[in-house]
Amino acid sequence: MLHDLHRVAALVAACAALCATAASAAARPDPQLANQWALQGDGPMGAATAWTRITGGDVTVAVVDTGVDLAHRDLAPNLWSNPGELPGNGIDDDGDGLVDDVHGADFVNRDGDPADDNGHGTHVAGIVAARGNNGVGVAGLAWRARIMAVKVLGSDASGDMATVAEGVRYAVAHGARVVNLSLTGPSPGPDLAAAVAEAAAANVLVVAAAGNTHADDDTIATYPAALDAPNLVAVTSSDQRGALAQSASFGRASVDLAAPGEEILSTANGGGYELRSGSSMAAAQVSGAAVLLASARPDLGWEGMRGALLGSARPTSLPVAAGRLDVAGALRRVLGARRGRSQVSAERASSGGLGTHAPRRARQAAVARAAVPG
């Protein structure tokens, strides 16, 4: 009974946050939002209806990538801050082996400054959670979040899976609820598979890019997307027509979702904005959707998030396991239906609970390298 009362209290608080968020919407429109095709209306992925219910919250999402431009005005307000670290004192206050890891960590240079020296991670971070409704630049799918910047790839956007695994472990240890891995390699090595398993044990969802080689991932595995991990969602890229992007990798068994990933406008290094394309961008959309789900339901773990994302997917002929991302549909699965459903998916009522999708298949490969999908 006490557990039920605590859960009811948490849901009441979440509903109050939803009402406050919806009431404050559209106060300071982002000037480049009109150029973000994936966020227009409900057609691409149900963003408009989703935003009538919630636009984000105090949810930590780790962008494990090339780093993040920490000074970018569309990202700085949404940066995660390490509660155990005192900025600028030159001391490892929280005892995690990194000095002054205030907004994340750099596992390439082994320090607490995850500055982006490539630009890929900054672009991904903006898709997930650029500050929305602030009268500046663009919006992320989640307008409010806590972006944890974790640098595991170098200035050439390459690295190794052992370093990626360190980044995942850091994110989990410091409270991330969602981990975005917009990177690929031919093998996970033993470290990354173990790190993702540890994330599952900590109730953390992992979202991974399927790759940009137009390969069938069911036949030629790419990692971490092909890991046999129940808490992982593998994502490929779709274009403005809803078709599979020209370079996108796919797999009816190994790739879970398709999401908008072509010609995506987002944050760029140095404070600007740029277009990029690929499954990296598509994975970031799904991570943003997961942030909205976790904001709406603070009690939701990876199983509930993954179940809602896959269970609400729009039917498609694309070669993926579940379908196309429907953010509004996923929110309906965790919050219940109400007026103002996504027009695209309203006719297809969700069925079943929040259980996970079919188990993922494991494959073996040779070299545990990682890089931005090419």
Catalytic residue of the set 187, 237, 249, 280: 280
Burial tier of 8 (Cβ tally within 10 Å: 0-12, 13-18, 19+): exposed
Q: For the chain, how long is the longest CA-to-CA vector?
A: 57
For the question of residue 287 being annotated catalytic, the response is no
For the question of residue 280 being annotated catalytic, the response is yes
Question: Which of 127, 169, 175, 166 minimizes the C-alpha distance to 148?
Answer: 175
Q: Across-strand partners of 105? A: 150
Q: How far, in whole angstroms, is CA 8 from its chain's centroid?
A: 27
What does the DSSP assignment read for 241-278?
TSSBPTT--B-TTT--EEEE-SSEEEE-TTS-EEEE-S
Question: Which of 249, 226, 256 minimizes the C-alpha distance to 323?
Answer: 256
Catalytic residue of the set 30, 65, 117, 218: 65
Backbone angles phi, psi at 323, to 5 degrees: 145, -155
Q: Running DSSP on this structure, what letter comes out for residue 53?
A: T
Catalytic residue of the set 103, 120, 123, 174: 120
Instruction: Name the strand (E) or helix (H) holding 238.
Output: strand 232-238
Tell me how far CA of residue 346 lies from CA of 33, 41, 134, 318, in angstroms: 25, 14, 30, 20
Distance CA 157, CA 144 (A): 27
Question: Which of 66, 224, 222 minimizes the C-alpha distance to 157?
Answer: 66
Quote the tokens at residue 200. Answer: 């599952």
For the question of residue 158 being annotated catalytic, the response is no
Question: Which of 343, 285, 336 minimizes the C-alpha distance to 314?
Answer: 343
Residue 116 C-beta-side C-alpha neighbours within 13 Å: 28
The residues annotated with a catalytic role in the active site are: 65, 120, 280
